[in-house]
Homo-oligomer: A and B are copies of this chain.
């Protein structure tokens, strides 16, 4: 065949993900990506096609690593709360925010964005996960709580990116989940 790949794909995608989270798509230069991945530009272009290809690969990595195991896999209200509280702990406290939300703001609604479909998918996962869990746990009593939680999630990621202290928002989140838990149908035996 030929020479086999020597680099560790997960490590490369970790570096690319960090760089794109920190600087955005346009703001991350290929030089930055060389440094963060340890690969030269030639290798990056050979492996991922172009900068957009690397960006898309970093998105996939981010989904598999962060979004799907947490919010995407949540079944119970407590698991959703755990996903939210995870935003207050490392590694999410690095101040770089979220690839999806950062992408939303960078590209707006342009369908021509380098990862418009992936950004949309990220937003969908959040919305649908919340809708699913709340419908299952609270039924109609949930009201529009799923939508509200989605807004709170995005707000948290804005604050997390702002470099300001995020801790003061923690009680507000817990209070909301306390309120939602109080709506759970009680399974008391008569």
| Residues of A participating in the B interface, judged by any CB pair closer than 8 Å | 22, 24, 26-27, 95-97, 101-102, 104-106, 108-111, 119-120, 123, 143-148, 150-156, 158-159, 161-164, 168-169, 171-173, 175-176
Contact = CB atoms under 8 A, between A and B. Distances in A.
B104 A158 contact: yes
A154 to B, nearest CB: 4
Contact of A153 (B26, B123, B155, B176): B155
A129 to B, nearest CB: 15
Contact of A148 (B95, B120, B146, B172): B172
A165 to B, nearest CB: 11
Copy number in this complex?
2
Nearest to A111: B163
A119 B97 CA distance: 16
A139 to B, nearest CB: 16
Contact of A152 (B101, B146, B151): B151
A108 B97 contact: yes
A48 to B, nearest CB: 23
A168 to B, nearest CB: 6
A135 to B, nearest CB: 14
Contacts of A150: 155, 169
A158 B105 contact: yes
B148 A154 contact: no
A101 B171 contact: no
Contacts of A151: 151-152, 154-156, 159, 169, 172-173
A26 B29 CA distance: 13
Contacts of A143: 172, 175
